[in-house]
Amino acid sequence: MIYEKISGFSDEIASDIDTQFSVLCKLGIKYFEPRGINGKNISKIDDNELLMLKAKMAEYGIKASSIGSPIGKIKLTDDFEAHFELFKRVVTIANALDTKYIRMFSFYHNGGEWTVEERSDVIAKLRRMIDYAKQYGVILLHENEKDIYGDTVERCFDLMETLGCENFRSVFDPANFVQCGQNTKTAFDKLQKHVAYVHIKDAKASDGTVVPAGMGDGNFDYLLLRLFASGYDGFLSLEPHLGSFDGLADLELDDKMLGLPKSGEGTFTLAHSCLLDVIARV
């Protein structure tokens, strides 16, 4: 049986939305996590482009699982008011695309140990966004991205225990935890009750190289077995990162991936096939 709620960052297939959706349909995938739309970040599309996207989704029979937004992926010292306006636009887009989920982050700082004052700033900014999310019926999904406040198990747990609610849940990204030196079994066991969404991305602990699910140190068999045993019926969203793609430079703090061969239908199909293999095993 093929798991029905498979989604993915289809901008890793191609920039243009027709190619993205054509490949998703070929693979039997009915959802996508919009991030790059015809070369433009989902948060930056205008009303006409939003209408075009909705029309294309209807044409291909594709639905949005979550908005793959860049919200919270700025420094604490950056202009938060301008960023909050962008956040409000993303909420509007989520409502227009009929998805309740928005992927987001918990801010960068200038390096070193996180201070008590910085933590308080993170909490205050996130709380403001959560309050807004409650007004518009959306759920913010915090991703454990490298180098943000919530990149370790303990700090993710801190955020969830402090702010966790119906409108603030967790995206579990195994590869990011591996790249931060975190054990994914320990991470999942501690965060499971807060997890509402899963990114399908694996990595090797030795050098952080991203690999297809089940080929790295993300413990995917363990994670999916635990997920399904708990009755999880949420999304599994492919974020292959097996090659470079348009918009990557705006997403990564380093240029490690920029030297990789270009991603496309082949790398996305490989990521999907490996996910199906793991699902079949568990």
Structure tokens at 118: 């910085």
Which of 49, 25, 51, 28 shows the shortest CA–CA distance to 39?
A: 49
- Greater confidence, 226 or 256? 226
Where does residue 61 fall: left (phi above 0), alpha (psi -120 to 50 degrees), or beta otherwise?
Answer: left
Question: For the chain, which residues make up each domain, given as ranges?
Answer: 1-64+255-274, 66-234
Structure tokens at 220: 């995917």
**Domain made up of 66-234: CATH architecture:** Alpha-Beta Barrel (3.20)
> How far is it, in rounded angstroms, from Cα 175 to Cα 252?
14
> How far is it, in rounded angstroms, from Cα 177 to Cα 91?
27
| Burial label, 204 (beta-carbon count in 10 A; 0-12, 13-18, 19+) | middle
The pLDDT value given to residue 54: 98
Q: pLDDT per residue over 255-280, tens digit each?
A: 454 455 566 899 999 999 999 999 99
Average pLDDT estimate for 169-193: 97
| Burial label, 142 (beta-carbon count in 10 A; 0-12, 13-18, 19+) | buried
CA angle, 205 then 210 then 211, to 5°: 100
> How far is it, in rounded angstroms, from Cα 235 to Cα 38?
24
Helical (H) or strand (E) element with 82: helix 80-96
Long-range contacts of the stretch 46-49 (C-beta < 8 A, 24+): none
| Burial label, 144 (beta-carbon count in 10 A; 0-12, 13-18, 19+) | buried
Report pTM.
0.93
Q: What is the mean pLDDT of the chain?
A: 93
> How far is it, in rounded angstroms, from Cα 184 to Cα 177?
6
Task: Return the percentage of the chain with pLDDT > 70, whole number.
Answer: 92
Three-state secondary-structure class, residue 172: strand
Q: pLDDT per residue over 112-154, tens digit each?
A: 999 999 999 999 999 999 999 999 999 999 999 999 999 999 9
Which of 66, 62, 34, 78 shows the shortest CA–CA distance to 133?
A: 66
Three-state secondary-structure class, residue 235: coil
